[in-house]
Amino acid sequence: MGTHGLGVINENGERFIEFCQNHDLTIGGTLFIHGDHHKYTWNSPDGVTKNQIDHLAISSTWRSSLLDVRNRRGADIDSDHHLVVVEVRLKIAVAHKAGGPGKIGKRFDVSKLNDSDTRKSFRLELRNRFSALEAATDSLDEEWNRIKVAYTETSSVVLGHKSAKSREDWMSQRTWGLIEDRRKLHLSLLETQDSIVRADLNMQYRQKRREIYRSTRKDRRQWANGIADRAQRAANSGNLKELYNATKTLAGNSRFKKKPLKSKDGQLIVTAEEQLIRWRQHFEEIFRSSATQTPDTLQIQPTPTRMLDIDTEPPSTSEVAKAVRSLKTGKAPGLDLITAEMLQADLSSAVDVLTPLIEKIWTAEELPDEWNKGLLITVPKKGDLSQCNNWRGITLLSIPSKVFCKIILDRLSKALDPLLRKEQAGFRSGRSCTDQINTLRIILEQASEWQREVYLTFVDFEKAFDTLKWSSIWSRLLSIGVPPKIVRLLEAIYRKYSCKASRHRMGIV
């Protein structure tokens, strides 16, 4: 404890000093010379009594890092306590610029494309950049990079990046005006010495606080009613996505709290570097486990009796346009930051640049390197979130690469759909697992009506998609008559596949 504290030590102060002594802590607010008006941290409602009752305690080991401790009376925090500010000397690592090598850039604000004028500006800027491109090259990576740069630079100029909200969007301008008035009254209270004027200002300040409280409650109620009406309209129209977004907005920010991870032997992992290594080990085990879990006998398949009628020629412009239109909007982009909204904003330009690129991919049976890289993120499941197994890994892929995949999927679906069992409803056009749920419900209702026993077995394969052996899938496709050309294109998608993880996306503390 220093010699520059304010006031008399009471019983609680003595307990605090004893606590600091037992834990080798230094009370920062007593170390630096300041006027009393920069020391006291609490002011009584009548403005007469002032005490220093808010303190910062720092380990004696880091005492030399403490440069200053004082209050900031001008901060309008709507409290009888003053904000205590600490100045600390830190040594931090060099921060690399966003977008540099190995960095993941900020997403573009594609919501601006809903505005017709912004959409026109985006199209014009994009077409100007495409018209300035050099002639096509034989390198897939170079051609893709030119397309990517045109889209990202256009988006940077026209759309800008998403930014964090600086204000609550449900508060009205009237409420913000009242808050500004309260701030001015707060400053006047600090500057006034006359007791009569101070009492009048104090009364005005309390009145302004009540007005702000009533105004914010009204704003919040109107905002919540608007979101609820939006959710009701979405429910009435069957728009489940809009219903989910509205419900999520009303429920508030329910994102998981970041927590440290545990190693395999249960030890807590503290540093970010060690946590990232633990995530890498976890997902490597998952992706490599398929090598030992799938029997090699599945690779041995009989020669197909006939080849399925699947077109193996390079895609036409109409196929590319159909694939671009079918992309789902509102999805997170991959490492290239290109979204479906950006491609669909100017369909003709997207088709003009993607068709030649896809034709080269089709002929070479090779993908651009960036299309083989995904951004790995984690989503919490149930249980202890310090265990990696209680997180689900999701890979964000390049949206333009999905155009290529959708073309192959469309050609395969037309030929393979008649071969699938009628019981198979998942991942089929026009059908879903809801069909099975409805069928099961009918069976249970009939069994209940006729008082019959029903035995149900639910099988859930752990990490089913992560542990598939790709070579077995290729062999199975060949055995049912899928042309080798299509199988080789599918192999190219997985051949050099890799994942990249960022600390923020992995929830690393």
Residue ranges per structural domain of the chain: 11-88, 97-162+256-294+302-422+481-509, 173-251
Strands (E), 291-333: none
Residue 504 tokens, joined: 């923020």
| Region label for 337, one of left (φ > 0), alpha (ψ between -120 and 50) or beta (otherwise) | left
Coil, strand or helix: which one is 237? helix
What pLDDT is attached to residue 167? 57
Whole-model pTM?
A: 0.70
Residues 477 and 482: their CA atoms lie apart, in Å, by: 5
Tokens 């199209």: give the residue.
Answer: 123
What pLDDT tens digit does each residue of the chain (509 aa) get? 777 777 778 888 888 888 888 888 888 878 888 877 777 788 777 767 788 888 888 887 777 888 888 888 777 777 878 888 888 887 655 444 444 444 566 889 998 999 999 999 999 999 999 887 766 677 899 999 999 999 999 999 999 988 766 556 788 899 999 999 988 888 888 788 788 888 888 889 889 989 999 999 999 999 999 999 999 999 999 888 888 888 888 877 555 556 678 888 888 887 778 888 888 888 888 777 554 444 444 444 556 667 888 999 999 999 999 999 999 998 989 999 999 999 999 999 999 999 999 999 999 999 999 999 988 888 888 888 888 888 888 889 999 999 999 999 999 988 888 888 888 887 787 888 888 889 899 999 999 999 999 999 888 777 766 667 888 888 889 988 999 999 999 999 988 888 887 655 555 54
Contacts 24+ apart (CB under 8 A), 390-397: 391/507, 393/283, 393/286, 393/466, 395/499, 396/332, 396/333, 396/334, 396/335, 397/334
What pLDDT is attached to residue 303? 67
| Region label for 507, one of left (φ > 0), alpha (ψ between -120 and 50) or beta (otherwise) | left
Strands (E), 384-468: 391-396
What pLDDT is attached to residue 21? 82
**Going by C-beta distance under 8 Å and a sequence separation of 6 or more, which residues neighbour residue 466?**
286, 287, 289, 290, 393
Contact 363, 314 (CB under 8 A): yes
What pLDDT is attached to residue 80? 78
Mode of pairing for the β-strands spanning 57-59 and 261-262: unpaired
What pLDDT is attached to residue 92? 58
Residues 386 and 268: their CA atoms lie apart, in Å, by: 8
